[in-house]
Structure 1
């Protein structure tokens, strides 16, 4: 093949790509799309997932949706809901795995990001960027106890990674205790703390030094501390979700977290709270640590931290722990963590949570939601094993995985998005926006009741 022919072919390919890009951008620009455009978007999306993203996701969608609903393509969102390309509206009770605490496209968060975008999108990396300093100050003010210094990330798994590195530098110990049913992320360090074998096995060996004990079993936690001390493998930190999210919305036994705190103090170990899912008002307090009156040495945030508009996360630690990074602030870095757009979104998000008292609202609406769901499940004890939760973090556990799939299908077909948890397939989560209305709550409850009546146990 001649050089001229290759160049001609490349030029034609670039032209085709440019035309495709322009078509996509023109659709993004439109406030409304017609049926023909919606059909084109759906086809391109399904084909793209099959050929260029991951065909496995299409197969997963077929297991949790009725008929052709597997090809539902989301296109717009607002408040507690989103719409697909055909205009069908869904109440979002999955909430992007808990990112929409202040609602979909909260106008105050969108405005903050848009205003910042007009001025500067990303920072130079070398000068002092103001919003990072301001957000860190706000976090020092609102986090429990004497948590003071913040490092910003892009996601939950990055927050956990940073916390693990902080703990290692603090004491030079290398043993970590995590728990069964824990989920802390899927990058190698955080995956070492995650409990589900399916996610872990292909990547073994993971980071050495991790031990898992049953969540809620303080005696086993104590024995593990004792054994680690006896064999010279002192514990650097305990890594815990105050309420396990992906494990199936598992609440800790009474007094458990305080007892873990006491063990950490006794053995000179740090306590890391992974509040990626429980933080930012979800459980009825700004942070779940406040619910249980326990102050960790390090707290990990993400998901809702960016207001459902920007990917954003943070690790906040005490000065005593964080100071190991003072001598060399480049020991742990990230290109995009703490960028101006993400910081603007987080600052606005915290403002909305405080001004609109959304944590308090989550406690109030969550209590109502939980009670109504339990009423809806009465008479279906052969299908529903337990309904539990705290604030607007609710889990519905079924006796069998298959029932959970059928319930998810039935609810999605009726305009309610729910999904199973990653560690416990028998449990579907209810994690809507903290702004969800009582009318929407009632619709979700009535839909669950209808679906339960139509499926076999």
Structure 2
């Protein structure tokens, strides 16, 4: 990609390459896109191009970019109280906790605030271990839970490999994923039952009395947006209850409207013991995450001090952003819009693309949370890029989308279609047209070409 010609954008690019150390990247190979401004479902790059943001950045700008009510709330809070230590009560932290507790399922009414999703997972695991007196934690192979020490060991995808020393007490298992079934299943029901049986066997061999928690992305995000078959989450809940294991629902990516509900667990009517959140709670405008805690886990620390904390826990600027974000989502029907757009426009549109493009092996998702499984051969399901890597075909596809005016989100052999929850039907159609054009290029890498 050429260096921006605009002097300010070029200066931004040069400073980045001279001084910024990027995450998850070989530094010398980077050629970052300069983003100069954003509004609604669009961003503008250093070349002056307007791009439809089908990535929601890192699947977090749920209310879109620069929502005026949230921007105003951040400015207003900065005039009153920019920061305060977490041992002091502040009005925005209390109100944010109330609004979140109102929307979490069951009685998850106590909120511990963190700076993001990885910390939320770290603290949820710490709570579970102290609550149960056990150490092991189970999680799925196809998962991502964050980049900090415990969270990266819980992660199943290849980002764990260079960080995993096998000493974090984490054990991985296969979750349900019918398209690439590990259980030789042919139906969703078989996949569910066999995945639950596999989990039962793993627990038996690891020792039920050694397991503190099972941590699940309710709908795995970066790992592929695999919606679990009906009854799977309820089955995991029953297994946890039977063995005294804490169920932690990681809703960092799937929460706050992304699937057309406030939280993805609502689709299955399941109440976890702990629920972690981040990203959409502030639409990413100011970093914030947290853990919603059930009464029986919270009671463990009624008289016993909880050994953990953060300088910025419940930061007033972040909490004011959460209050404004949740309020705007409720007043403007943003969660309902995500459900409606997904059901009526985005889901049907993506399935129509699959009928035209042999490179699409499967379409799956809910709300504004979708993935296209891209393959070179539909019969063999050979992926368009290797697990843990990329390919020339995927690079061509993402470049074609950029040329078509779309900022995309890809991971390995998948294209994730994850726009803001505020996206309109007309904007969805714009994105589908760009996808249609770009996927024609990817089709050339299939056996059908």
TM-score normalised by L of structure 1: 0.85
Q: Does the 8 Å CA contact 1:369/1:441 hold for their aligned counterparts?
A: yes
1:377-414 Cα distance to aligned partner (Å, 9 max, x none):
32321x11111111100101111123333221111111
Partner of 1:97: 58
Count, aligned residues: 407
Structure possessing the higher radius of gyration over alpha carbons: 1
C-alpha distance in 1 between matches for 2:32 and 2:149: 32
Is 1:202 equivalent to 2:162 in the alignment? Answer: yes
2:51 is paired with a residue whose SS is strand
Report how far residue 242 of structure 1 moved. Answer: 1.0
Is 1:345 equivalent to 2:321 in the alignment? Answer: yes
C-alpha distance in 2 between matches for 1:311 and 1:91: 23
Q: 1:454 to 1:204 in 2, by over 3 A?
A: closer
Equivalent residues in 2 for 1:15-54, closer than 5 Å:
39-54=6-21
Q: Does the 8 Å CA contact 1:178/1:238 hold for their aligned counterparts?
A: yes
Gaps of 5+ in 2: 177-194, 376-383, 386-390
Equivalent residues in 2 for 1:281-430, closer than 5 Å:
281-327=257-303, 331-367=307-343, 368-381=345-358, 383-399=359-375, 400-401=384-385, 402=391, 403-421=393-411, 425-430=412-417
Is 1:279 equivalent to 2:255 in the alignment? Answer: yes
1:42 is paired with a residue whose SS is helix
C-alpha distance in 2 between matches for 1:41 and 1:127: 42
Partner of 1:82: 43
Moved over 4 A (4+): 55-61
Q: 1:355 to 1:57 in 2, by over 3 A?
A: farther
Q: 1:392 to 1:60 in 2, by over 3 A?
A: farther
C-alpha distance in 1 between matches for 2:111 and 2:123: 11
Higher helix share goes to which structure? 1
Q: Does the 8 Å CA contact 1:49/1:58 hold for their aligned counterparts?
A: no
C-alpha distance in 2 between matches for 1:206 and 1:302: 27
Is 1:450 equivalent to 2:437 in the alignment? Answer: yes
Partner of 1:151: 112
Gaps of 5+ in 1: 1-35, 62-69
Q: 1:329 to 1:135 in 2, by over 3 A?
A: farther
TM-score normalised by L of structure 2: 0.86
Q: 1:450 to 1:203 in 2, by over 3 A?
A: closer
* Residue range with higher mean Cα deviation, 48-57 or 120-129: 48-57
C-alpha distance in 1 between matches for 2:166 and 2:303: 29
Q: Does the 8 Å CA contact 1:183/1:244 hold for their aligned counterparts?
A: yes
C-alpha distance in 1 between matches for 2:27 and 2:374: 24
Is 1:181 equivalent to 2:142 in the alignment? Answer: yes
Partner of 1:437: 424
Partner of 1:108: 69
Aligned with residue 89 of structure 2, among 128, 139, 145: 128
Report how far residue 117 of structure 1 moved. Answer: 0.5
Q: Does the 8 Å CA contact 1:392/1:430 hold for their aligned counterparts?
A: yes
Is 1:141 equivalent to 2:108 in the alignment? Answer: no
Report how far residue 416 of structure 1 moved. Answer: 0.3
Partner of 1:25: none
Superposition CA RMSD, Å:
2.0
C-alpha distance in 1 between matches for 2:19 and 2:301: 41
Q: Does the 8 Å CA contact 1:97/1:431 hold for their aligned counterparts?
A: no
Report how far residue 429 of structure 1 moved. Answer: 1.0
Report how far residue 308 of structure 1 moved. Answer: 2.9
C-alpha distance in 2 between matches for 1:299 and 1:238: 12
